[in-house]
């Protein structure tokens, strides 16, 4: 039988892949239920709608009811009209409150970008993975402050009713609670990494600061500025903690690797005690992840942000703190390593470093203190660069292989290299009064170095926290201030391998869960009391047995401390003792099949966790060897030395107190307080502060591992809801009565289930009155749920003032009764609907036929109208065609005229270019012929000079063979004079010849210039005429642009002109290529002739040709001068070495006079002077004339 939607019951069923999926209940028995479920392919398709997505089919499934709580399928909270999930702001208002309902309510709000949801006083914050500007605007912050703090007293109801859920609600109510009741407040933020805890704490702190600013807007200027200074310090201290304590992990780019509890300190006003003034803050930190300093996944993670910020700073900035940082980045340090992430939350590391330095300056860390502080950070970095190797003499000994890195580290720490090397590669063991040096293997030495780096960073971090507290803590008596604390701590952790850190974190979460359970029970108690319900039946499970297992005297961690004190304590010994002492604890899991001696498990409130105790003893001792501490204490870095000294002093002081009266001796680190002892002490202090305060809870949820908005992974979300205690809180709130409905909803939904004999009683009731609604609801439920009354007479429901509370299965029974009661009227309604549907179909068919007839006749009329319009259009077209033919005839006539003009222009241009090129190259070839003839003449002169040289050389040789010296000298002088006369006459002839040619060339140049000027004028006139012709052509082109054919012809002619131009250019280039090689081949033996030809071809400048010719003559003159000087030198040498001159020198004892040499020199100077007088003016005049011509051009 087909069912109407009003009868359908929507439920959730378990699914292996998607945890819970919506389904439609078809049939149900005591043991089984049949449902229809959509075949979903991904979680994105599951949006809370019960309608299948496009392209998805449904299937019928049978489920076993024993797999579900109370053997009942959980019902959906659907909207009545569309049967989709109805998202609510406060999940307490859900009619059916269970795990599946919580999941789908959060998912529906997450998809709609509503990240916050209430569960009573708990705020569930789902990370939206995007910044919602409107949600965190200044107006929104002010609205929450005004509604919940300043105007709350004017309202009689809960002011949160008018506000959507928000973390501003928690911060505003905390402020209100401290201001009005004077009770300290705390906001506990928890969740796994990447859920948004750190960002939530910052949002709450900023909101609290804004509330204080709103309150003090009426203060005087000095007080307001003082408050703003405190607020700025408090807010800016948080980024400092992030820089030194946060790191990128696989799940979160800005993950807090430590827990922190920030207490804001407020002072009540003197005039109005309800007005608070922020005076300061104090921060307590827990469990810094020191191991991240020396190890992290280089591919997906980073170590602490401060290392990347320091190394990303510009060289001039970071070298102020440590010079070896010049040119280095994170790849130069092993502890940091390569990374593909260089910005966090949109700010790159370099810019973030500037903000970190500014924040440090704000709390008083600057100057030399800042330099010392950052150098301490560099010490940690440099420790990671040390490498160790086996000693060649002994394989059990180790040496530091990286000597350069060791030298840098020693200089940085102010410790000698020998001392540092000995401390890192050996261990000093003290037994009574004897000291023994034990060498370390390379592996042990590296572990010791890493331990030192971790300890140093931990002490540096604590030093920073102390300085922040000193700068931000209020002065005076701290007990007199009110406190609002914000706790940001790790969520429950369960990994494939869980170690000591996970045990400490989960223990803290167990302690917080115990307080959370107690606070939820108090709120449930208050609700039931307000509704007038008796509370004898309310029971709930607590986690006391888990806390006892961990922290009792014989608990796990007490056994661990005991094992750390033993000389040969081991991890396996600790596990054996712990299992034996606590074997009866219900919270302890003892593996049935032991795969390891260090394995045990605990049944936590959030699930079972198996722990691997490997390294528990070492991690719990948390101490450095004495010689390592003494070495670090000797550092010149004051921060390192003082912090290590404080650790040593505190340990020794405790040992001294326990051994008064005994002889003084140096204490061992074996009896120092363990990591668990220190952590337990700080956790007890935290829980003490929390118990004194009124706590508010914010549970942060990471919706998916992809870090994408509007996507929720069911399994991941449910695991977090369970581990954060949200599911247990709901279970506690609904432990006795899991479902509740308001009286008005009960009457509207189940009124027809009341038997008719009892309906007459309702006539006397006013169903708009709350008391009558309560009586009517009780009457209805008493009759409807009578079969569920227990043997002891206990009803399946309890009536409150505004709601009815149902025991397990009661509401589901009501829904099944409603389903059966609606089946009969549903059939009648369906029959009426089908009749209406058939009549509607017939009516639609009739209207369709009428419309077809109308369209038929309307089409005929339209066809006639179209034919008339076509005839009129054809008539108009004929008129336009006649006009077009006339216009085309006119255009064709103009085109022919324009074509004639174009052809005439082309012919003129062709003749003009041809004439110009022929004249230009004829002049060039004439000049080349003249130059070649001149060169031939110069060659002939050169040959004559060479011939004279040869004759003169022969005469000299004959003189040296035995001819009488005096006679030879006379002959030589005569021949020399004869040679000089010949040379002078030939040189004079050459000069006259050159001067004559020079004058002829000047005359030719003037003639060519005179011829060129009228040609240039004619060419300019032709260009102007051509320009006018082009303008006329352009005008004709614009006039004839309307016709397509004329336009195409003009484009074609334009392309032809471009082709002709290209052909002319190509012919010119071919001529140049044809004549240039011949000229270059004949003049290649003279330098500079290529430049002359290039200038003639490019410029057609005759002045340059004259200048080059003169230069060639000058070269001939220089060559002749050099030959003359060479001959004179040889002649002088021969005269000096003659026998007569030698005899004269011997007789006179001095240098003989050489009048012949002097006379020869005088004749040579006269020749040179004559060449200078003839050549210089010609060169100068030629150069000057060329310069003048250049200026004119």
User: Which residue ranges make up the annotated binding site?
Assistant: 191-198
Residue 271, token pair as written in the block: 């005039």
Residue 127 and residue 195 in contact, taking contact as beta carbons nearer than 8 Å: yes
Q: Where are the alpha helices (DSSP H) in 313-441?
A: 315-318, 349-362, 367-383, 403-413, 417-425
CA 1023 and chain centroid, separation: 65
Residue 602 and residue 590 in contact, taking contact as beta carbons nearer than 8 Å: no
Residues 6+ apart with CB under 8 A from 405: 382, 385, 386, 387
Residue 579 and residue 588 in contact, taking contact as beta carbons nearer than 8 Å: yes
Residue 319 and residue 358 in contact, taking contact as beta carbons nearer than 8 Å: no
For the chain, what's the residue count? Answer: 1193
d(CA 747, CA 663) in angstroms, rounded, equals 86
**Given CA atoms 666, 670, 673, 675 in this order, what sign does their dihedral have?**
positive
Residue 208, token pair as written in the block: 């609290």
> What is the DSSP-derived secondary structure letter of residue 146?
I
**Binding positions for ATP:** 191-198
At residue 616's C-alpha, the angle toward residues 641 and 720, to 5°, is 105
Nearest residue to 504 via CA among 278, 354, 677: 677
d(CA 365, CA 467) in angstroms, rounded, equals 8
Helix or strand (DSSP H, E) at 638: helix 638-658
Residue 286, token pair as written in the block: 């827990």
Residue 683 and residue 158 in contact, taking contact as beta carbons nearer than 8 Å: no
Residues 6+ apart with CB under 8 A from 927: 1096, 1102, 1105
Longest dimension (CA), the chain: 177
Residue 589 and residue 600 in contact, taking contact as beta carbons nearer than 8 Å: yes
Nearest residue to 93 via CA among 75, 105, 108, 80: 105
List the end-to-end C-alpha distance of the chain, in Å, as a whole number: 111
d(CA 812, CA 821) in angstroms, rounded, equals 14
The SS3 of residue 785 is: coil
Residue 148, token pair as written in the block: 């919940």
d(CA 700, CA 719) in angstroms, rounded, equals 12
User: Which residues pair with residue 430 across a beta bridge?
Assistant: 435
d(CA 600, CA 589) in angstroms, rounded, equals 6
d(CA 669, CA 675) in angstroms, rounded, equals 13
Kindly give the pairing relationship between strand 116-119 and strand 276-286: unpaired
d(CA 1070, CA 1064) in angstroms, rounded, equals 10
Residue 777 and residue 804 in contact, taking contact as beta carbons nearer than 8 Å: yes
> What is the DSSP-derived secondary structure letter of residue 162?
G
d(CA 1118, CA 1108) in angstroms, rounded, equals 15
Q: 341 in the Ramachandran plot: left (φ > 0), alpha (ψ -120 to 50) or beta?
A: beta
d(CA 154, CA 158) in angstroms, rounded, equals 11
């Amino acid at each position: 039988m087909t069912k109407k939607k009003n009868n359908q019951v929507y439920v959730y069923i378990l699914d292996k892949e998607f945890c819970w999926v919506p389904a439609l209940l078809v049939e149900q028995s005591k043991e089984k239920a049949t449902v229809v479920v959509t075949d979903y392919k991904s979680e994105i398709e599951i949006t809370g709608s019960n309608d299948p997505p496009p392209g998805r089919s449904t299937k019928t499934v049978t489920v076993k009811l024993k797999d579900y709580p109370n053997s009942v399928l959980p019902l959906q909270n659907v909207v009545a009209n569309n049967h989709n999930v109805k998202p609510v702001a406060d999940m307490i208002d859900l009619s059916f409150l269970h795990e599946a309902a919580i999941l789908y309510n959060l998912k529906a709000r997450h998809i709609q970008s509503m990240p916050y949801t209430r569960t009573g006083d708990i705020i569930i914050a789902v990370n939206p993975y995007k910044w919602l500007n409107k949600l965190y605007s200044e107006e929104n912050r002010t609205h929450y402050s005004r509604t919940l703090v300043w105007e709350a007293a004017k309202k009689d109801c809960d002011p949160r009713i008018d506000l959507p859920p928000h973390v501003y609600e928690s911060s505003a109510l905390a402020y209100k609670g401290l201001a009005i009741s004077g009770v300290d407040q705390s906001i506990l933020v928890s969740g796994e990494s990447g859920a948004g805890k750190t960002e939530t704490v910052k949002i709450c702190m900023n909101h609290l600061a804004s509330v204080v600013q709103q309150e003090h807007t009426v203060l005087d200027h000095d007080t307001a500025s003082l408050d703003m200074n405190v607020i700025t310090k408090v807010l800016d201290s948080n980024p400092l903690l992030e820089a030194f304590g946060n790191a990128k992990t696989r799940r979160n780019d800005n993950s807090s690797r430590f827990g922190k509890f920030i207490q804001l300190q407020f002072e009540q006003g003197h005039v109005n005690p309800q007005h608070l003034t922020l005076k300061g803050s104090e921060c307590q930190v827990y469990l810094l992840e020191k191991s991240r300093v020396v190890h992290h996944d280089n591919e997906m993670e980073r170590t602490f942000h401060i290392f990347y910020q320091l190394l990303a700073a510009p060289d001039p900035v970071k070298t102020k703190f440590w010079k070896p940082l010049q040119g280095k980045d994170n790849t130069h340090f092993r502890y940091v390593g390569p990374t593909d992430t260089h910005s966090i939350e949109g700010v790159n590391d370099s810019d973030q470093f500037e903000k970190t330095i500014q924040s440090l300056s704000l709390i008083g860390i600057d100057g030399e203190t800042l330099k010392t502080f950052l150098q301490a950070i560099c010490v940690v970095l440099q420790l990671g660069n040390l490498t160790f190797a086996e000693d060649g003499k002994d394989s059990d000994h180790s040496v530091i292989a990286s000597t350069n890195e060791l030298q840098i580290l020693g200089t940085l720490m102010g410790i000698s290299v020998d001392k540092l090397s000995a401390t890192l590669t050996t261990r000093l063991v003290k037994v009574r009064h004897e000291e023994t040096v034990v060498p370390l293997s390379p592996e042990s030495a590296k572990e010791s170095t890493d331990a030192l780096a971790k300890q140093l960073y931990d002490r540096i971090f604590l030093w920073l926290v102390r300085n922040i507290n000193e700068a931000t803590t209020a002065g005076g008596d701290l007990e007199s201030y009110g406190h609002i604390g914000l706790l940001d701590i790790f969520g429950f952790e369960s990994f494939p391998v869980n170690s000591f850190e996970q045990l400490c974190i989960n223990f803290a979460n167990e302690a917080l869960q115990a307080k959370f359970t107690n606070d939820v029970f108090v709120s449930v108690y208050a609700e039931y009391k307000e509704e007038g319900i008796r509370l004898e039946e309310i029971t709930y499970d607590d986690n006391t047995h888990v806390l006892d297992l961990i922290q009792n005297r014989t608990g796990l961690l007490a056994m661990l401390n005991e094992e750390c004190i033993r000389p040969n304590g081991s991890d396996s010994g600790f596990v054996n003792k712990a299992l034996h002492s606590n074997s009866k604890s219900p919270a302890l899991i003892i593996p049935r099949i032991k795969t390891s001696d260090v394995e045990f498990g605990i049944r936590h409130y959030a699930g079972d966790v198996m722990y691997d105790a490997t390294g528990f003893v070492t991690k719990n001792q948390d101490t450095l060897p004495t010689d390592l501490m003494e070495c670090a204490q000797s550092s010149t870095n004051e921060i390192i030395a003082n912090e290590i000294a404080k650790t040593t002093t505190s340990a020794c002081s405790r040992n001294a107190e326990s051994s008064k009266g005994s002889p003084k001796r140096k204490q061992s680190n074996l009896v120092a307080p363990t990591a668990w002892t220190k952590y337990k002490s700080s956790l007890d202090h935290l829980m003490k502060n929390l118990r004194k305060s009124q706590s508010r809870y914010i549970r942060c949820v990471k919706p998916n591992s992809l870090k994408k908005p509007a996507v929720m992974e069911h399994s991941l979300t449910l695991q977090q809801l369970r581990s954060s205690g949200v599911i247990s809180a709901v279970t506690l709130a609904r432990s006795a009565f899991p479902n509740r409905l308001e009286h008005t909803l009960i009457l509207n939904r189940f009124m027809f289930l009341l038997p008719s004999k009892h309906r007459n009683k309702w006539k006397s009731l006013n169903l708009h009155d709350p008391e009558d609604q309560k009586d009517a609801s009780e009457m209805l439920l008493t009759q409807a749920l009578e079969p569920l009354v227990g043997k002891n007479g206990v009803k399946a429901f309890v009536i409150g003032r505004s709601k009815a509370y149902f025991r397990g299965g009661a509401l589901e029974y009501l829904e099944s009764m409603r389903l059966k009661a609606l089946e009969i009227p549903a059939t009648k309604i369906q029959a009426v609907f089908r009749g209406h549907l058939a009549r509607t179909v017939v009516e639609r068919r009739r209207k369709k036929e009428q419309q077809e007839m109308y369209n038929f006749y309307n089409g005929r009329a339209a066809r006639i109208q179209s034919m008339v319009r076509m005839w009129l259009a054809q008539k108009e077209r004929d008129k336009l065609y006649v006009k077009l033919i006339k216009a085309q005839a006119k255009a064709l006539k103009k085109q022919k005229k324009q074509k004639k003009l174009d052809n005439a222009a082309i012919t003129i241009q062709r003749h003009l270019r041809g004439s110009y090129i022929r004249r230009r190259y004829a002049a060039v070839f004439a000049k080349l012929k003249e130059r070649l003839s001149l060169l031939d003449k110069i060659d002939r002169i050169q040959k004559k000079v060479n011939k004279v040289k040869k004759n003169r050389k022969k005469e000299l040789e004959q003189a040296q063979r035995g001819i009488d010296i005096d006679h030879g000298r006379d002959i030589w002088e005569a021949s020399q004079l004869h040679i000089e006369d010949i040379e002078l006459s030939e040189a004079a002839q050459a000069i006259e010849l050159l001067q004559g040619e020079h004058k002829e060339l000047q005359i030719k140049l003037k003639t060519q210039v005179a011829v060129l000027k009228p040609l240039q004028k004619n060419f300019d006139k032709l260009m102007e005429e051509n320009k006018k012709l082009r303008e006329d052509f352009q005008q004709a082109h614009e006039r004839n642009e309307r016709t397509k054919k004329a336009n195409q012809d003009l484009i074609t002619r334009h392309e032809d002109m471009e082709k002709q131009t290209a052909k002319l250019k190509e012919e010119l280039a071919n001529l140049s290529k044809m004549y240039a090689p011949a000229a270059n081949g004949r003049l290649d033996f003279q330098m500079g002739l290529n430049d002359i030809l290039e200038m003639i071809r490019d410029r057609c400048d005759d002045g340059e040709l004259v200048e080059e010719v003169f230069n060639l003559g000058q070269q001939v003159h220089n060559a002749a001068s050099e030959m003359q000087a060479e001959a004179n030198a040889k002649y002088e040498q021969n005269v000096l070495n003659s026998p007569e001159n030698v005899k004269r020198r011997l007789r006179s004892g001095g240098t003989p006079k050489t009048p012949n040499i002097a006379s020869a020199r005088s004749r040579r100077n006269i020749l040179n002077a004559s060449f200078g007088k003839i050549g210089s003016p010609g060169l100068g005049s030629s150069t000057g004339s060329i310069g003048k011509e250049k200026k004119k051009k």
